[in-house]
């Protein structure tokens, strides 16, 4: 990982989805985020917190309501569709459901070849087929499967096909949107090892979106915790897992199943209170309605991201947990 080179950056990024009347779902709120070349940044949080929306806004599949996105120093959020075309190639996505993301009427060759044909990477049909076979080999799909259809593969194999399609254009950033959540545990390990191997071989940068912190621990360099569309904590993975500074991070870590019986029998902290609404978020800290450490300041004043050592935390009481 090259910590000196920022690949993609979000500044004050917001994404709202208007509802009838004057209300809106505030899916992403005022996010400042940097992803560095060659790293794996994990984005974690409970379902519905805005993780996938943030990923899609970063790669401009959804336009932000406000704020800016910069790719290699160039602002891409203000670009028109035609102007943005050259930037589509280095930004790729691996989808959560490997079956729904593959066209059932297309063969494996056609699925992987589609981005290559779109950007005219190959000069002949034979070169196109050879490139597809090489990509299949890179992800562990045998060449004799070239003309098979998605329904003829297992879930893990289908995800490998999706990964081959994502890396076909040698992207700079791959957004992995819950890429192993639909797979069995043993297959998850294989796919995670594949992603790490491809990162090393192709020099990839990952934004790895997940709600499974045990998976994130294995693959990430840094972890970004999200709650109700807001960033709570960004830290190196080893530091975050050893000592979380945001209460919400601590509750998430407590929810990880423990294999050690002595750890398993420890009393777990459970979240209390009501889950706030993204349509009508609470004043002050978005987490204060569920936080046992909330003070009057938390209820009135929204905490800003601030640096504590090598991490960033949005909590008025973070020093109490350091």
- Tens digit of pLDDT for each residue in 208-264? 999 888 899 999 999 999 999 999 999 999 999 999 999 999 999 988 877 666 655
- How many residues does the structure list for the chain? 322
Residue 267, burial from CB neighbour count under 10 angstroms (0-12, 13-18, 19+): exposed
Where in the chain are the domains? 6-90+169-321, 103-168
108-118 vs 125-139: helix crossing angle, rounded to 10? 120
> CATH top-level class for 6-90+169-321?
alpha beta
pTM over the 0.75 mark: yes
Is pLDDT above 80 for 4?
A: no
- The first and second tokens of residue 88, run together, are 């589509």
Tell me the HSE value of 147 on the side-chain side, using a 13 A CA sphere: 0
Confidence of residue 274 (pLDDT cuts 50, 70, 90): confident
Q: Where are the alpha helices (DSSP H) in the chain?
A: 51-58, 81-88, 108-118, 125-139, 155-167, 185-202, 213-219, 237-242, 247-254, 261-264, 296-300
């Amino acid at each position: 990982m090259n910590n000196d080179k920022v690949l993609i950056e979000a500044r004050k990024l917001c994404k709202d989805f208007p509802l009838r009347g004057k209300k809106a779902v505030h899916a992403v709120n005022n996010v400042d985020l940097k992803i560095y070349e060659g790293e794996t940044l994990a984005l974690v949080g409970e379902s519905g917190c805005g993780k996938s929306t943030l990923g899609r806004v970063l790669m401009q599949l959804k336009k932000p309501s406000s704020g800016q996105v910069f790719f290699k120093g160039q602002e891409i959020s203000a670009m028109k569709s035609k102007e943005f075309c050259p930037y589509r190639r280095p930004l790729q996505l691996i989808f959560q459901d490997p079956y729904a993301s593959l066209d059932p009427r297309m063969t494996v060759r056609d699925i992987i070849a589609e981005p290559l044909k779109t950007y005219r990477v190959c000069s002949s049909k034979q070169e196109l087929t050879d490139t597809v076979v090489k990509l299949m080999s890179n992800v562990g799909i045998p060449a004799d499967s070239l003309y098979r259809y998605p329904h003829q593969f297992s879930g893990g194999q289908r995800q490998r096909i999706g990964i081959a399609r994502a890396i076909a254009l040698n992207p700079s950033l791959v957004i992995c949107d819950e890429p192993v959540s639909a797979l069995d545990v043993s297959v998850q390990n294989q796919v995670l090892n594949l992603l790490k191997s491809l990162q090393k071989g192709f020099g990839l940068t990952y934004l790895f979106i997940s709600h499974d912190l045990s998976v994130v621990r294995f693959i990430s360099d840094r972890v970004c915790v999200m709650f109700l569309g807001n960033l709570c904590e960004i830290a190196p993975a080893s530091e975050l897992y050893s000592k979380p500074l945001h209460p919400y991070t601590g509750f998430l870590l407590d929810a990880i199943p423990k294999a050690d019986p002595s750890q398993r029998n420890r009393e777990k902290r459970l979240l209390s209170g009501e889950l706030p609404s993204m349509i009508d978020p609470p004043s002050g800290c978005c987490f204060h309605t569920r936080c046992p450490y909330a003070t009057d300041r938390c209820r009135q004043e929204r905490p800003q991201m601030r640096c504590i050592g090598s991490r960033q935390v949005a909590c008025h009481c973070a020093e109490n947990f350091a």
